[in-house]
């Protein structure tokens, strides 16, 4: 296993080094997950695992339980039964504050509609998680500008989300998700609001950046063309994880 100096990686502190990923060890493991909303089961006996640097597509029709699985894995929702262990630590054993810190520092999120803050410029949107973590404005925006350039949208840095195209806005959202150097990224239908050309562009850039830095990606989608960017697929139907298949 090799190391890469922090200075080469936007979002990492200079005192740290990033370990190239070890594909033999699981980063996150979920077992026996069950979640119901009232009398309606949303997830039944869910199983999941992902390794550093791996891209896993969670597939299934609308209402199948894909998003519930993602929310349980990310510690946003606590399952009724079962456990999620991230780097050996059970998420349900952590306090709400500890899970919030974990999501802010170790996890990244990309949503279908980007969810950028309309009052902020694009570079300010990308810098937001760094500012929340205590970084100064100049440092945060410098690191954010590096990620905008990496994702080929440096030209929109000073524009607000309402002034950019859908494809550009989603690449800004990807930059915001990756700027902190997360170990694990959750992408929930990241191309659902884009045309096929922009969707492919976003997926190419997202997966290339994630693989380069060893970030694991949980990719929720119902589109086969998007799932094709993953290393393997997990199929969810009626709240059950039916199969796990390699895509290569």
Output the DSSP codes for 1-38.
--EEEGGGSTTS-TT-EEEPP-TTS-SEEEEEEEEEET
What was the pLDDT predicted at 5? 35
Work out the pLDDT band at 245, boundaries 50, 70, 90: low
What is the average per-residue pLDDT within 70-95? 93
pLDDT of 34 over the 60 cut: yes
pLDDT digits (tens, 9 = 90+) for 116-152: 999 999 999 999 999 988 999 999 999 999 999 988 9
pLDDT-based confidence at residue 62 (cuts at 50, 70, 90): confident
Residue 198 pLDDT: 86
Question: How large a percentage of the chain has pLDDT more than 70?
Answer: 88
Domain extent listing, the chain = 26-106+184-193+213-248
Average confidence score pLDDT of the chain: 85
- The pLDDT tens digits for 183-225 are 999 999 899 888 888 889 889 988 888 888 889 999 999 889 9
CATH architecture of 26-106+184-193+213-248: 3-Layer(aba) Sandwich (3.40)
């Amino acid at each position: 296993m090799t190391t890469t100096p922090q200075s080469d990686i936007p979002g990492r502190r200079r005192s740290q080094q990033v370990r190239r990923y070890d594909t033999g060890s699981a980063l996150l493991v979920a077992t026996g997950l069950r979640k119901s909303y009232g009398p309606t089961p949303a997830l039944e006996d869910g199983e999941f695992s992902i390794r550093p640097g791996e891209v896993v597509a969670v597939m299934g029709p609308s209402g199948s339980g894909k998003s519930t699985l993602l929310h349980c894995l990310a510690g946003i929702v606590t399952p009724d039964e079962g456990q999620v262990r991230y780097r050996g630590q059970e998420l349900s054993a952590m306090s709400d504050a500890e899970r919030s810190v974990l999501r802010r520092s170790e996890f990244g999120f990309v949503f279908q509609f980007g969810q950028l803050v309309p009052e902020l410029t694009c570079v300010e949107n990308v810098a937001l998680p760094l500012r929340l973590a205590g970084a100064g404005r100049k440092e945060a925006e410098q690191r954010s500008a590096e990620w905008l350039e990496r994702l080929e949208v440096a030209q929109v840095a000073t524009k607000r989300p309402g002034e950019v195209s859908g494809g550009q806005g989603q690449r800004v959202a990807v930059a915001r998700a990756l700027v902190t150097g997360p170990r694990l990224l959750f992408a929930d239908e990241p191309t659902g609001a884009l045309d096929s050309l922009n969707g492919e562009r976003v997926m190419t850039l997202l997966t290339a950046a994630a693989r380069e830095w060893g970030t694991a990606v949980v990719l929720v989608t119902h589109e086969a063309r998007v799932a094709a960017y993953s290393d393997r697929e997990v199929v969810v139907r009626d709240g059950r994880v039916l199969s796990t298949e390699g895509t290569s």
